[in-house]
A = this chain, B = another copy of it.
């Protein structure tokens, strides 16, 4: 005889967690908990085989089924000491579907099954709560009618509405037992109107109808679509779980509560964290009307102290469960240990005590703060509960950010006025006075003010101002806009693309949500959430614990992927080294040209008519660049430093407003017309696809030569001072090998010149960004010259998608919302398209040059799923902004662990 029904209860179960295919995920887990000795309400699971049988046999059941259900039902009755359909004290059931994998398309839960006109009286007697009895019954009718029989839920809502209007009240809670009894009658009438029959008064009929409804729901259209989309075979079928209901509101020997096996805020487990209410239902705890009591005496004492409650009052009014029901408490505490031993993770528990008997309603992995996650992982590994590999998977790399940046004080935040919401462009919290100009940010900061720089969008000219500000807020631009990228690089908080802001530069103010914020007014921004608040909100600095160090050390032991940082200044380089960066993967040189004296020489270079004029101006820039590189080499203490040659189009360096143009003309002693003409001449329709990257170096080889000279003079200087420098010169934006060849020749010649002049040599590499599809497609050729590739996946994403970072903010969010794109490809590497190019290029490049070093330096280098992709694709390293270095380290380690 085939076994179709699997009972569980009272510490025994016929199934186990290995039988997900037969019992569904939920059924297997209910069985498992029983076996482990967790007291869960008993019940039984009807296997997926029945579902298969049902559809194979014209929607009928195997002959043996009814008897097996009866038997399992009887077993449940025995465990609960109650009878199904007992008019005096009825056993009630919940009925749920449960496939191998969770399937939202299927039947919801039906609760309180077994209530009838008769049994409702028994429930009222047992709970001594008439309102609860009728409320349960009218709800059961609604659920059964809707979920099992498909009656429109709106009809019941209307009925409820009418009764409330009759009584002149607004809230469901204002209805008393008599009202709910009336509603029950109305619901039954609706059932009859809709279905042409009376609401079933036979609990067994209710049960079988519910079972059949579950099996029927396997083939409802929603479920079919869901399976098609998610690739779930239609042949799997679902199981049905029938489980006894328990009540925490059956008197003072009953209670309900929630608990965590460790403190979800800190990860501590010095005592058992949890709360409960006597004679209450789960909803009462959630509703927060009554003050919940603590599980342990220690917890209770601590709580009373924090609330300034006298011990006498506490002991009388808010005793702990440990004090009130010591035996139940001990049982629960033992369960805590058992659950952690079994699930090997911190659990979030719901329990109910029904007339002195403890039932676990749910146990699930508990949510926790990032700090708690790290501590729990390290502690559990220390306790031997899990090994280090598992521990590494226990922390979401993305959330490490929380540990590195200031956050708003919770209490202060609760009182703050929310002004607007933009994009969470660079994490952390900041509070400061509003300024609208980069130069004001610098000036105010020098006077000791904390300022937040508010701009429509930022440009390279604003770098100094951004650096002086504590935070940046922009009205335009996405997660990878200039403001966002630079802010992340600086580890500075930034909210970008806050489109609601109406900024008026002239009046030095912005308006949002009916509020006018003037220059000098305080605002607070949260770069982790994108929220903008009025006024000052206190921030709290994070503290990196020893656990963090231990944890990251484990990550480093495991990972094979190198982690470098994108850093343009010695300060960034030092911060990143502190976070564990093993080199610089991208040092942009253009930001170095925006200092006061530098920008003038830079502009002079751009205005120059011929290479002679350019060379003169470049000679002025050389010492600055050299000093920059010396600073960076020294900060990196012998770690490799990848320096990218000048990349942005020259027009980015010229002043945009007339006043500055006149000043520049005066400073350079030329006609303002000449400046304006040059700006007009350099203007581009699509600067992203314009005269930039190596195209500049090819047109003006003297620029490349100056930069390379500065690099090697700096490297020689460092070597002389006792610091090894390992420069890796990177040529940007190539699309053909010939472009790279052209620039590599300049690099090699200049290096040779410098080495001869200096009388010493340093080892170096020359390589290229792979940031255009054509470079990736012809990687075999490019690798004949390149010693390394660094994927610039920001630009590669732009060109592969034909999508401008600067402009896509207008429609990309809508794309993600409509599921045309699963995620923003500028945040998460598009493995299907862009990733294909990366894989192709790595394979082709290494075929030509087996020693080719390959890294990634786009924003994706700090995004976990992208880091995992880089690991899988065999890259040598990822490079990301300093504050993302720990994220990348952990993600790289997780990639190894997941590989198994």
Contacts and interface: CB of A to CB of B under 8 A. Distances in A.
Contacts of A771: 802
A54 B574 CA distance: 66
Contacts of A837: 773, 777
Interface in A782-820: 795, 798-804, 806-808, 810-811, 814-815, 818-820
B686 A806 contact: yes
A403 interface: no
Given A777-B800, A837-B777, A688 B691 contact: no
Contacts of A800: 735, 772-774, 777, 799
- Pick the most buried of A689, A695, A739, A832: most chain B CB atoms within 10 A of its CB: A689
A345 interface: no
Given A686-B687, A778-B833, A833-B735, A742 B818 contact: yes
Given A830-B774, A833-B774, A833-B777, A795 B802 contact: yes
B735 A804 contact: no
Contacts of A686: 686-689, 804, 806-807
A704 to B, nearest CB: 14
A699 interface: yes
A684 interface: yes
Contacts of A815: 698
Contacts of A689: 686, 688-689, 798-799, 802-804, 807-808
Interface in A727-771: 733, 735-736, 738-739, 742, 771
A655 to B, nearest CB: 18
A412 to B, nearest CB: 36
A120 to B, nearest CB: 51
A553 interface: no
Contacts of A811: 691, 695, 698-699
B739 A820 contact: yes
A819 B686 CA distance: 24
A836 interface: yes
Interface residues of A, number: 49
A176 to B, nearest CB: 48
A435 B773 CA distance: 42
Interface in A278-307: none
A439 to B, nearest CB: 23
Given A739-B820, A804-B685, A820-B742, A691 B810 contact: yes
A800 to B, nearest CB: 5
B688 A687 contact: no
A618 interface: no
A461 to B, nearest CB: 15
Interface string A326-342: 00000000000000000
Nearest to A806: B685
A690 B804 contact: yes
A695 B688 CA distance: 19
A646 to B, nearest CB: 15
A817 B580 CA distance: 47
A742 B686 CA distance: 28
Contacts of A695: 811
A798 B802 CA distance: 9
Q: Which of A781, A802, A818 has the most CB of B within 10 A?
A: A802
A152 B885 CA distance: 64
A687 to B, nearest CB: 7
A561 interface: no
A778 to B, nearest CB: 6
Given A698-B815, A742-B820, A802-B733, A777 B836 contact: yes
Interface in A201-226: none
Interface in A442-469: none
A800 B688 CA distance: 13
A74 B569 CA distance: 82
A821 interface: yes
A112 to B, nearest CB: 43
A834 interface: yes
Contact of A774 (B739, B742, B806, B834): B834
A686 B818 CA distance: 24
A263 to B, nearest CB: 44
The residue in A698, A800, A814, A830 that gathers the most chain B C-beta atoms within 10 A of its C-beta is A800
B820 A736 contact: yes
Interface string A814-845: 11001111000000001011101100000000
B699 A821 contact: no
Contacts of A799: 689, 773, 799-800, 802
A821 B736 CA distance: 8
Contacts of A795: 802
Contacts of A819: 738
19 contacts: A685-B688, A685-B806, A685-B807, A686-B686, A688-B804, A690-B807, A691-B807, A691-B810, A698-B820, A735-B833, A738-B820, A738-B821, A739-B820, A771-B802, A772-B801, A777-B832, A777-B837, A778-B836, A799-B802
Given A735-B801, A781-B832, 12 more contacts: A686-B687, A686-B689, A689-B802, A698-B818, A735-B803, A735-B833, A736-B820, A736-B833, A738-B820, A774-B800, A774-B802, A774-B833
